[in-house]
Structure 1
C-alpha cells in the first residue's frame, strides 16, 4: 500500500523533517493506521486525498518530534535563579488523530460517500 503522503510533501509542511527511509516509514505507518481505523475508499477523490495527506503529515510530524525525547513526560532544569520546564505531549511516538483531524476526516468521508450528518426532518402524515 502506498502512503497518502510523500517525504517531500512532509518536508514542504515541516522543514525539520528527516530525509530518507525514516520519514517514508512513518508516513506509511500513519497511512496504514488510517486504513485500519477508517473505511477509506480505494480511490479517494482529490478532496479526500488532500485531507488524508494533511492528516498523515501531521501524524508523522508528531511521531518524528518525539524521536529525541527519550520518552520523557516532563523535563525540568534549574541553574541558580533560572529554571526551565518542558512536557512532551506524545513521548512514546504513538499514532493518533486530534479532535480537529477526526472532524475533518469525518466530514470529508461523509462528502465522499454522500452520507448526511446531523438532524433530519421527517414529515408525519396520518393514514
Structure 2
C-alpha cells in the first residue's frame, strides 16, 4: 500500500527512526500514519503554525504515535508491556500494559510541542522614547 501524500510521515520515515517493518506491518503503518495525521489535525488546530516554526515536528509526533500503537519491542518483554516483574520461586509473573489495545493517542508533551510554535503571544507592547 503506497503512502498517501496527506500523511505527515511516510512508512520509510517511520522505519528510519525505528526498525525495518515486515510487509504486513508496512500496510498497517501506512493506515496508522494517515489516522495519526487526522488526529493531530483535529486535536491541534494550529499544527500548521507549529510545522512552519519547527519543520518536521508533525512527522515526528505522527511517527511517535504510530510506534506506540504498533508496540513491537526488541527486548524480552512481551509487546505492549510497559513493566514486567518475574519471580522464579513460586512462579509469579506480573505485567503492566502500556497500550494494550494499540490505540493512537497524543501525549500531553506532544500537544504542547504542537502548540509551542503557534505564536502564543497575546499582544506586544512597543514604545518610543521622546527626545529630551
Classify the TM-score, shorter chain: 0.5 to 0.7
Specify which of 106, 113, 121 is matched with residue 116 of structure 1.
Answer: 121
Specify which of 90, 105, 112 is matched with residue 96 of structure 1.
Answer: 105
After TM superposition, the structure 1 = structure 2 runs for residues 73-84 of structure 1, keeping only pairs within 5 Å, are: 79-81=88-90, 83-84=92-93
Specify which of 56, 59, 70 is matched with residue 53 of structure 1.
Answer: 59
Figure out how many residues of one structure are paired with residues of the other and give that number: 114
- The unaligned stretches of length 5 or more in structure 1 are 122-127
Instruction: Assess if the C-alpha contact under 8 Å between 2:84 and 2:95 holds in 1.
Output: yes
> What is the aligned-residue RMSD (CA, Å)?
3.6
TM-score by length of 1: 0.67
TM-score by length of 2: 0.65
Query: Is the alpha carbon distance of 1:46 and 1:107 closer, same or farther for their aligned partners in structure 2, counting shifts above 3 Å?
Result: closer
Which structure dedicates a bigger proportion of its chain to helix? 1
- The unaligned stretches of length 5 or more in structure 2 are 73-77, 126-132
Instruction: Assess if the C-alpha contact under 8 Å between 2:15 and 2:21 holds in 1.
Output: yes
